Structure 1
Amino acid sequence: MTRFAAFLLILSLTITARVVAITPAPPALGADGYILMDYQSGHVIAENNADNPLPPASLTKMMTSYVVSAELAAGNIQLTDMVTVSENAWAKNFPESSKMFIEVNKQVSVEDLLKGLIISSGGDASVALAEHIAGSEDAFAQLMNMHAQKLGMTNTHFVNAHGLTADGHQTTARDMAILARALIKDYPQEYELYKLKEFTYNNIRQYNRNSLLWDRSLEVDGVKTGHTEAAGYCLVSSAVKDGMRLIAVVMGTSSEDARKIESKKLLTYGFRFFETVSPLTANSQVHQARVWGGEVEQATLGVLEQTYLTIPRGKRQQLKANYVVENELEAPLAKGQVVGQIFFELEGEEVAKVPMVALEDVAEGGWFSRMIDAISRWFSELFS
């Protein structure tokens, strides 16, 4: 394995003064579990008990809406589909839960049910959508768990679509942050519903329970509240500032005000003391390396996707990178094939690494060029 010389990524062209950047420890929160994640990089800025299984309450409906969005994207259902409300989905079955007040045997569009699910946090809407998609809530829960597994939510298991307390129905703060990130990335059109502050159905106006949507000091545009006696007061929130998006999850706080206050602490801390930088753009070339037996002698190496890093604010000019080609390259090479790693360092410590890949296909050369390359390689190894 050959390590090449480090190259400096110049991320700031002008430094007018030498400033010592200080990053304090994250705030301590009154919550059973919490996490603060950078949406772009996936970097965790702060966490505590983030992998402890906890009851999710209505945070469950984030996965319910994710599955609905996936079914819409696949063309299996349409927003205009009319759903006949069953007795299982009747609002009267949820006396202690939030609901959108749908009535048995009435028909409601998928679009209205999705709004009732997300904005009004309707347990009745959850069941109606689950039955429409999978035939039963039990079958729908299996879909939820399949999507959770695919997203890497390793400590999550769903039993129902609404989040009322049930044996084995659990998740973690980290898994909820993973889900929120997937919601925003995979289904941005449906995610737009999460910032709506009110929804009227059946002449009943209901307001979004995420009170951070009204906080003028933060640009919060989601995500979801939850509360049961077992779960306490929970909130997944996301906000954007100066192009940086953060996701905060607090679970098991003591009140509605507490979940708002603790979430705001996390978001404010993240925006104040950290920033998201993008040192490498999509299709960015990092290195050219000799490739043996190919139509061309040099393979262009780099990254195919935008690279995002989360670093303490004020330290971007100190960011450096090393790259490593893991083995000698031999044709054929496929575009996107991993051939090494790029290591990012800050003040001598590794802060991230990303795969270095071939940026284009390199086909095998003809028999004559391969023979010449074999001879050249033999001499190269002989005298190295």
Structure 2
Amino acid sequence: MVMLTASVATVLGAGTGFPVAWAQAGAPQGSPPATGAGGEGGLEIQARSALLVDATTGQELFAQKADEPIPPASLAKIMTLDLVFHALEQGQITLDQEVPVSEAAWRLSVQAGLGGPSAMFLEVGERVRIEDLIRGVAIASGNDASTVLAEAVAGSEEAFVQRMNQHAAELGMKDSVFSNSHGLPGGEQHVTARDMARLALHVLKEHPGILKYTSMKYFEWKDFAAQPNYNRLLFRDPRVDGLKTGHLSEAGYHLVATAREGDRRLVSVVMGAASDALRVGESQRLLDYGFQQFTNTRVAFGENGRQVVPVFKGAQPQVTVQPAEDPVVTVPKTAAGEVRSRVELKEPLVAPLERGQRVGTLTIEDAGGRVLRQLPLVTADAVPRGGFFRVLWDSVRLLFRNLFG
């Protein structure tokens, strides 16, 4: 393994790619990163748990009891919508498809009519478009709509819950368990702020179209009065365009919010606040903190983001290597010019090599040596094995290289 270290000039920017969490870099939990290593201290959120994450880099900018298990309430519907959008993209269902309302879903609607949990007010036996059900979940937090969607995607609520927990495991939501598609009490279910942030980042990356629905301020359905979105941040901050609220008496008030300002997007999680007003206000404080105190910085790599390295026994003598994702990190605005990078490449590279094959790591650190992000370095093109004489000659070269260094 060859390691190259370089100080890097930086510019503001944003990347795309699924992130690596700041927590992996050793950021302290229960408080914002210390001054000089990722932020200003002293911020405290009035809720059972809270988390703030940059959606581009995945770095945690603030964490407060982020691994405390708490009943999800309607935050479970983020997972429901995630699986619905997976089914849409795989062609299992379509937006215009009409599906029947079961008695189980209708009973949830009846409960809402009697002053119970939120609903879309569906009638048993009626057929409803998938897209209308998505709106009913994303805006009005309809428990009846969640049940109908679960049955449409998996055949039954029980089968859908199995998918929810399987998908949670695949995403690395190691501290989360779901027992239904809507989050109402019943069975063992709990999530953490960190797991909900992980889910939100996945949804934003894989299904950005979900923001079309979570950003809608009102839900209009039949001749009912328009229902305002439970996410009150939409009405006070134009940067906010999702994702979901939740509330249970035993859990408190939750809000997973996302906001975009320029090229940056943040995800905040507030769980277990004492009131709706408090979850909104504390979520606003987190988002303001993230936008005001931090910036995203792109580090240089090679020439125009690429580097050419030699290859042994290949049809070509070299291959272009590049980061698998945009090399962007989130840092305090006061430390934007103080990041540095280390390049580690496997040595030697021997053909055949596949396109996109990992051949090294780009590590981005702050001035104090704290790892901010690590990105795979991958091949830009495939390199097939060379002919007989190329392989023979490079075998001799490798032999002398191993003998004499």
1:56-95 superposed matches below 5 A: 56-90=72-106, 91-94=109-112, 95=114
Contact 1:211 1:260 (8 Å CA) reproduced? yes
1:193-212 superposed matches below 5 A: 193-204=213-224, 205-212=226-233
**Could you give the per-residue CA deviations for residues 69-105 of structure 1, whole angstroms, max 9, x where no partner exists?**
1111111111222222222111114442011111122
CA distance in 2, matches of 1:230, 1:21: 36
SS of residue in 1 equivalent to 2:337: helix
**Could you give the per-residue CA deviations for residues 105-152 of structure 1, whole angstroms, max 9, x where no partner exists?**
222211111111111111111112122222221111112122222222
Contact 2:73 2:247 (8 Å CA) reproduced? yes
Query: Which residue among 211, 235, 258 is the counterpart of 2:278?
Result: 258
Residue 70 of structure 2 corresponds to which residue in structure 1? Answer: 54
1:222-241 superposed matches below 5 A: 222-241=242-261
SS of residue in 2 equivalent to 1:265: helix
Contact 1:283 1:305 (8 Å CA) reproduced? no
Query: Which residue among 84, 88, 98 is the counterpart of 2:118?
Result: 98
CA distance in 1, matches of 2:303, 2:95: 37
More strand by share: 1
Scaled by the length of structure 2, the TM-score of the pair is: 0.87
SS of residue in 1 equivalent to 2:71: coil
Moved more, 342-351 or 298-307: 298-307
Give 1:280 shift: 5.7
Letter aligned with residue 110 of structure 2 = K
SS of residue in 2 equivalent to 1:140: helix
SS of residue in 2 equivalent to 1:25: coil
Contact 2:173 2:195 (8 Å CA) reproduced? yes
Contiguous gaps of at least 5 residues in structure 2: 13-35
**Could you give the per-residue CA deviations for residues 300-332 of structure 1, whole angstroms, max 9, x where no partner exists?**
222243233111113232222111123321111
**Could you give the per-residue CA deviations for residues 45-70 of structure 1, whole angstroms, max 9, x where no partner exists?**
11111112110101111111111111
SS of residue in 2 equivalent to 1:356: strand
SS of residue in 2 equivalent to 1:317: coil
Identity of aligned residues (%): 37
Scaled by the length of structure 1, the TM-score of the pair is: 0.92
CA distance in 2, matches of 1:193, 1:331: 48
CA distance in 2, matches of 1:263, 1:236: 8
Question: What is the number of equivalent residue pairs in this alignment?
Answer: 376
Letter aligned with residue 129 of structure 1 = L
Residue 45 (1) aligns with residue 61 (2) = yes
SS of residue in 1 equivalent to 2:104: coil
Moved more, 240-249 or 334-343: 334-343
Moved more, 78-87 or 62-71: 78-87
Residue 356 of structure 1 corresponds to which residue in structure 2? Answer: 377
Moved more, 99-108 or 32-41: 99-108
Contact 1:282 1:306 (8 Å CA) reproduced? no
Residue 395 of structure 2 corresponds to which residue in structure 1? Answer: 374
Residue 2 (1) aligns with residue 2 (2) = yes
Letter aligned with residue 212 of structure 1 = L
Query: Which residue among 288, 300, 305 is the counterpart of 2:320?
Result: 300
